[in-house]
Amino acid sequence: MPQLGETVTEGTITKWHKQVGDAVAEDEVLFEVSTDKVDSEVPSPVSGTVTEILVPEGETVSVGTKLAVVGDAAGLDASAADSVPSPQVSEPAPPEQALAVAPGQMEAQAEPLGVAGQTAGTSETAPAAQGAPGGQAAGRPAAGGLGSAKLLSPVVRRLIAENGLDPAEIPGTGAGGRITRDDVMAAIERRGAGAGPAAAAVSSNGGAVVARAPAPQAPSYTPPASVAPTVPAPRPGERDTIVPFTNIRRRTAEHMVRSKHTSAHTMVAVEVDYSAVEKVRLSQREKFKAAEGFSLTYLPFIARAVVDALAEWPYLNSSVGEDELIVHSEVNLGVAVDLDFEGLLVPVVHRAEEKRLRGLARDIFGLASRARGKRLTMDDISGGTFTLTNAGGFGTLITVPVINQPQVAILSTDGVKKRPVAVQLPDGSDGIAVHPVGNLVMSWDHRAVDGAYAAAFMAKVRDILQSRDWAAEL
Active centre residues (catalytic): 446, 450
Distance CA 416, CA 418 (A): 7
Q: What does each C-alpha distance from 324 to 75, 164, 243, 320, 321 come to in angstroms? A: 46, 17, 43, 6, 5
Cα separation, 177 vs 171, in Å, equals: 8
Helices 298-312 & 357-372 angle (0-180, nearest 10):
120
Q: Strand 386-390 vs strand 409-424: parallel, antiparallel, or unpaired?
A: parallel
Strand pairing of 333-335 and 337-338? unpaired
Chain centre distance of CA 85: 18
Which residue type sits at 274? Y
Tell me the backbone φ, ψ of residue 40, rounded to 5 degrees. -145, 150
Nearest CA to 386 out of 448, 324, 429, 435 is that of 448
Give, for 270, the enclosing helix (H) or strand (E).
Answer: strand 265-273
- How far apart CA 300 and CA 305 sit, in angstroms, is 9
- Max CA-CA distance within the chain? 88
| Exposure string over 192-222, b if 16+ CB within 10 A, otherwise e | eeeeeebbbbbbeebbbbbbeeeeeeeeeee
Helix, coil or strand: residue 14: strand
HSE-CB of 136 using CA atoms within 13 angstroms:
27
The residues that bridge with 266 in the sheet, in sequence order, are 444
